């Protein structure tokens, strides 16, 4: 069974994203977006090299990205019209993916993901 862990920087990203979602779209919008993000975590953990992921060795060795718009099975109650975030992650050992960052699609990932990542 594939697993994932969320790095402290990604946890901070998640807290900020959900706070913004609450402010803009209320409790229900926050819940839907949180559900979508967790579905993204599960998707990349289950298929880290999937065809809708992208190798991002330009950021750091082994880093990949996945845009949340590629989540297709969340359920009607958790539907988000236009997701705007990408998951940046890496496989740290067979069966374990680390979510490194969760960044808005307009952000420059090279400013937020460095070569200082520890195994």
Find out whether 88 and 102 touch, Cβ atoms under 8 Å.
yes
Predicted pLDDT of residue 80:
76
Predicted pLDDT of residue 119:
47
pLDDT tens digits along 46-101? 999 999 999 999 999 999 999 999 987 666 666 777 888 999 999 999 999 999 99
Whether 115 shows a pLDDT value over 60: the answer reads: no
pTM: 0.91
For the domain covering 3-111, report its CATH number: 3.30.2310.20
Cα–Cα distance between 60 and 22 in angstroms, integer? 32
């Amino acid at each position: 069974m594939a697993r994932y862990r969320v790095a402290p920087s990604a946890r901070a990203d998640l807290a900020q994203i959900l706070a913004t979602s609450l402010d803009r779209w209320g409790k229900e919008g926050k819940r839907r977006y949180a559900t979508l993000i967790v579905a993204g975590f599960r998707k990349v953990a289950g298929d880290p090299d999937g065809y809708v992921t992208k190798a991002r060795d330009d950021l750091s060795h082994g880093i990949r990205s996945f845009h949340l718009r590629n989540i297709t099975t969340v359920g009607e109650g958790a539907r988000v019209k236009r997701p705007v975030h990408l998951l940046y992650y890496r496989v740290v050992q067979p069966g374990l993916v680390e979510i490194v960052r969760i960044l808005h699609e307009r952000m420059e990932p090279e400013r937020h993901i460095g070569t200082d990542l520890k195994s």
